[in-house]
Chain A
Amino acid sequence: MSDIVEIEQPQDAGHEMRDEIRQISDKFRARRQLRSRLMVILCGVALGVTAIPLGLLLYQLFRRGLPVILHASFFTQLPATPTLIAPNATGGVSNAIIGSLVLTAYAAVMAIPIGVLVGVYLAESSSKLAAALRVISQTMAGAPSILMGLFAFSFILQDLHVGFSAIAGSFALAVLMLPVIVIASEIAVRGVPNTLREAGLALGAKPHKVSLKIVLPAAVTGIVTGIILAISRAIGETAPVLLVIGGGYINSWKPLDPVSALPLSIYENAKSEWPSLRTEVWGIALVLVVFVFVLSLSARIWASRKQQAR
Chain B
Amino acid sequence: MSNLPLLLESELEVRDQGVSEFNSGTPARSWYHYLLILACIIFAAVSVGFVGTILWNSLPTWEHHAGTLLGHTGWQAPNGPFGGLAMIVGTLETSIIALVVAVAIGLGTSISIVFLIPRRFRTVVATLVELLAAVPSIVYGLWGLLVLAPWMLNTVNPWLNSWPFAKEIFGNTGQEFGTSLLLASIVLAVMILPTFVAISREVISVVPQDLIEASLSLGATRWQVIREVVLPTAKVGLFGATFLALARATGETIAVALVAGGVANVQFHLLYPGTSIAAWIATEFGEAGHNEIGALMALGTLLMLINFSLALVSRWLVSRQRKVLAVV
Residues of A within 8 A of B (CB): 25, 32-33, 35-36, 39-40, 42-47, 49-51, 53-54, 56-57, 60-61, 113-115, 117-118, 120-121, 124-127, 129, 132-134, 136-151, 153-155, 175, 178, 180, 182-184, 186-187, 190, 194, 197-198, 201, 206-208, 211-212, 222, 225-226, 229, 232-233, 235-239, 242-243, 263, 266-267, 270-271, 278, 281-282, 285, 288-289, 292-293, 295-297, 299-300, 303
CB distance from B127 to the nearest CB of A (A): 7
Which of B26, B44, B127 is within 8 Å of A300, CB to CB? B127
Cβ-neighbour of A208 out of B30, B49, B190 (below 8 A): B30
CB distance from B134 to the nearest CB of A (A): 4
A selection of 19 A-B contacts at a CB cut-off of 8 Å is: A36-B223, A54-B135, A57-B135, A61-B143, A113-B39, A124-B22, A142-B248, A145-B253, A147-B300, A150-B281, A151-B54, A225-B1, A236-B137, A266-B138, A270-B145, A285-B139, A288-B138, A289-B136, A299-B2
A208 to B286, CA, bound (A): 48
Q: Which listed residue, B40, B104, B136, B304, touches A292 by the CB 8 Å rule?
A: B136
What 1/0 flags go to B175-191 for Cβ under 8 Å of A? 00000000000000010
Residue pair A285, B8 in contact (C-beta under 8 Å): no
For the complex formed, measure the closest distance between the CB of A151 and the CB atoms of chain B, giving whole angstroms. 5
Q: A51-B128, A124-B22, A288-B139 are contacts. A296–B134 as well, Cβ < 8 Å?
A: yes
A148 to B31, CA, bound (A): 32
Check A285 against B42 for contact (C-beta < 8 Å): no
Interface: B70 (CB within 8 A): no
Contacts of B23 in A (CB 8 A): 124-126
- Contact (Cβ within 8 A) A118 B39: yes
- Cα of A232 to Cα of B57 in the assembled complex, Å: 31
Q: Closest CB of chain B to A8's CB: distance in Å?
A: 30
Most chain B beta-carbon contacts within 10 A, residue among A40, A44, A50, A143: A50
CA distance A242 to B2 in the complex (A): 27
Summarize B's interface: helix, strand, loop or mixed: helix
Which residue of chain A has its CB nearest to the CB of B311?
A: A142
The interface-forming segment of B76-84, B108-116, B156-164, B265-273 is B108-116
Given the contacts A33-B221, A143-B251, A178-B46, A53 and B132 also touching, CB distance less than 8 Å: yes
Total A-B pairs in contact (CB under 8 Å)? 312
**Quick check: A263 and B105 within 8 Å, CB to CB?**
no
Residue in chain B with minimal CB distance to A236: B136
Contacts A44-B116, A114-B39, A136-B47: A50 and B219 contacting too (C-beta < 8 A)?
no
Cβ-defined partner of B39 (8 Å) among A54, A117, A150, A235: A117
Q: Are A194 and B19 in contact (CB under 8 A)?
A: yes
User: How far, in angstroms, from A45 to B193 measured CA to CA in the complex?
Assistant: 15
Which residues of B sit under 8 angstroms from A293, Cβ to Cβ? Answer: 131, 134
B168 sits at the interface (CB 8 A):
no
**Interchain CA distance A296-B207 in the complex, whole Å:** 28
Which residues of chain A are near B328, meaning CB under 8 Å?
none
* Chain A residue at minimum C-beta to C-beta distance from B223: A36
Complex-state Cα separation, A142 to B251, whole angstroms: 9
Q: Which of B4, B39, B49, B221 has a CB less than 8 Å from the CB of A121?
A: B39
